[in-house]
C-alpha cells in the first residue's frame, strides 16, 4: 500500500507512530539524525514506491554535485559551471516537456522541490559558499521526507547546520517538540477541517459556467481553499521536521493581510519566493547592472520581477494559464513599485490606518484574481 503524504488520516496515524522514537531520542539528548535518515528512506519508499526514476535522479544529482564540487576547487570556469547547472536542471526540464505529450510523464512526486535542492547546491558551490560535500548529509537533505512532495523549499547549508546542532532536553521539549506539535495541530485544522469544508460545501458546488458572479464566487472559494490546504500540509512538514530536530522554514505568514503585492510575496509560499528571489531575481539584477543592460537599477529590477514571475509560471507547468499567471504577478509587482515610488497620494497617506485597511482589501483582491488565473477556472479547468 502506497502512503498518500498529508492526504488522509491514515498517513497522519503512521506519521505519529513513526515519530515516537525520535521524540524519545530528543528527550534523552541522543542524536536524532540517524533515525531521521532511516525513517526518511522508509517513508520515501512507502510514499513513492520502488520505482526507477527517483533512484536514477538521486544518483545522477549526487554524482553531479560531488563531481562539480571537486572540479570547482580546481577552476571557476563559467562554461563548466553553466554545463553543471544545466545538467542539474535537466530532470525538471524533461519532466515539463514530457507533460506536453499525450500519455508520457517522466516526472515523479516531489521532482520540482528536489530539483530546487540540486540547483541551489550547484550555484552555491560555484559561489564558494559550499566547499565540502558530505555524502550522508547531502543524501539526507534530498531524502528528508517531510518536505518531499511539496516543500517548504529548504537550503542545504541551513539543513546541515541543524544536523550539527546539539539539542538539550529542555530545548527539545520547549523549542522543537512543542513547536512541532503546534504546527501539526494547525495543519490538521487547516487541511482536514477548514480546507475540506471550503472544498465540499462551497468550491465544488460552484457551476462551471463561466459568468462574472460564478467567477467571483470561485475566486474567493479557491483562494481560501488553496491557502488553507497548502498552508495545512506546509505546517505538517514544518511540525514533522521540528520533531526530527530540523527547523524547516515557514511557508506562510498571514498573506491575506498584506498591504501590497511585494508584501504578499513575502508572506505567501515564502520559501519558494525567497528561492526565486535569491537565485533568479537578485542575480539577474546584479548581473544586469554589472553589464549595464539598463539605464538604472529600477528598470533592471522591473525586468527582473517580470522574468522571475514568468519563470515561476513556467515552473508550475507549460500551460497557458500558468504562464499568464506568472506575467500577471510580475506586472502586479512592477505596477506596485511604480505606484509607491511616484504617487504623492500614497506617500501622504501610507501610515494612516484607513489607508492601510484599504490597501489590504485591494491587495487581497489582486492576489485572489491571480489565484483565479492560476486555478485554470477561466480556461475551462476546475
Which residue has 531524502 as its cell numbers?
Answer: 143
Within 10 angstroms of residue 44's Cβ, the number of other Cβ atoms is 22
180 and 243 Cβ atoms separated by less than 8 Å: yes
Nearest Cα to 276, choosing from 119, 131, 107, 81?
119
User: For the purposes of burial, counting CB atoms within 10 Å of the CB of 290, is it exposed (0-12), middle (13-18) or buried (19 or more)?
Assistant: exposed
Convert the chain into a string of H (helix), E (strand) and C (coil): CCCCCCCCHHHHHHHHHHHHHHHHHHHCCCCCHHHHHHHHHHHHHHHHCCCCHHHHHHHHHHHHHHHHHHHHCCCCCHHHHHHHHHHHHHHHHHHHHHCCCCCCCCCCCCHHHHHHHHHHHHHHHHHCCCCCCCHHHHHHHHHCHHHCCCCCCCCHHHHHHHHHCCCCHHHHHHHHHHHHHHHHHHHHHHHHHHHHHHHHHCHHHCCCCCCHHHHHHHHHHHHHHHHHHHHHHHHHHHHHHHHCCCCCCCCCCCHHHCCCHHHHHCCCCHHHHHHHHHHHHHHHHHHHHHCCCCCCHHHHHHHHHHHHHHHHHHHHCCCHHHHHHHHHHHHHHHHHHHHHHHCHHHHHHCCCHHHHHHHHHHHHHHHHHHHHHHHCHHHCCC
The C-alpha cell that represents 117 in the structure block:
535542492
Contacts of 162 (CB under 8 A, 6+ apart): 245, 246, 247
Give me the active site residues, please: 316
Amino acid at each position: 500500500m502506497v502512503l498518500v503524504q498529508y492526504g488522509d488520516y491514515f498517513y497522519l496515524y503512521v506519521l505519529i507512530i513513526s515519530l515516537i522514537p525520535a521524540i524519545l531520542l530528543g528527550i534523552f539528548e541522543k542524536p536524532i539524525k540517524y533515525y531521521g535518515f532511516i525513517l526518511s528512506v522508509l517513508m520515501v519508499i512507502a510514499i513513492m514506491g520502488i520505482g526507477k526514476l527517483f533512484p536514477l535522479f538521486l544518483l545522477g544529482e549526487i554524482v553531479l554535485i560531488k563531481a562539480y564540487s571537486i572540479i570547482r576547487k580546481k577552476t571557476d570556469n563559467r562554461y563548466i559551471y553553466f554545463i553543471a547547472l544545466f545538467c542539474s536542471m535537466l530532470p525538471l526540464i524533461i519532466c515539463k516537456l514530457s507533460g506536453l505529450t499525450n500519455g508520457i510523464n517522466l516526472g515523479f512526486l516531489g521532482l520540482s522541490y528536489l530539483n530546487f535542492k540540486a540547483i541551489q547546491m550547484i550555484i552555491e558551490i560555484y559561489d564558494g559558499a559550499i566547499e565540502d560535500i558530505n555524502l550522508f548529509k547531502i543524501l539526507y537533505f534530498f531524502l528528508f521526507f517531510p518536505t518531499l512532495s511539496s516543500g517548504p523549499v529548504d537550503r542545504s547549508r541551513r539543513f546541515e547546520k541543524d544536523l550539527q546542532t546539539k539539542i538539550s532536553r529542555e530545548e527539545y521539549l520547549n523549542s522543537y517538540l512543542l513547536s512541532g506539535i503546534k504546527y501539526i495541530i494547525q495543519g490538521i485544522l487547516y487541511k482536514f477541517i477548514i480546507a475540506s469544508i471550503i472544498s465540499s460545501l462551497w468550491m465544488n458546488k460552484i457551476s462551471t459556467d463561466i459568468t462574472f458572479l460564478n467567477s467571483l464566487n470561485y475566486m474567493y472559494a479557491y483562494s481560501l481553499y488553496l491557502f488553507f490546504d497548502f498552508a495545512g500540509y506546509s505546517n505538517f512538514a514544518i511540525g514533522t521536521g521540528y520533531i526530527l530536530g530540523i527547523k524547516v522554514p515557514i511557508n506562510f505568514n498571514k498573506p491575506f493581510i498584506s498591504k501590497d503585492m511585494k508584501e504578499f510575496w513575502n508572506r505567501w509560499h515564502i520559501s519558494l519566493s525567497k528561492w526565486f528571489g535569491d537565485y533568479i531575481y537578485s542575480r539577474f539584477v546584479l548581473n544586469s547592472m554589472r553589464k549595464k543592460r539598463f539605464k538604472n537599477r529600477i528598470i533592471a529590477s522591473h525586468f527582473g520581477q517580470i522574468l522571475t514571475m514568468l519563470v515561476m509560471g513556467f515552473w508550475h507547468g507549460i500551460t497557458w494559464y500558468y504562464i499568464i499567471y506568472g506575467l500577471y504577478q510580475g506586472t502586479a509587482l512592477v505596477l506596485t513599485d511604480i505606484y509607491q515610488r511616484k504617487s504623492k497620494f500614497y506617500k501622504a497617506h501610507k501610515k494612516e490606518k484607513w489607508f492601510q485597511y484599504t490597501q489590504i482589501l485591494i491587495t487581497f483582491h489582486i492576489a485572489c484574481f491571480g489565484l483565479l488565473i492560476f486555478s485554470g477556472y477561466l480556461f475551462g479547468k476546475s
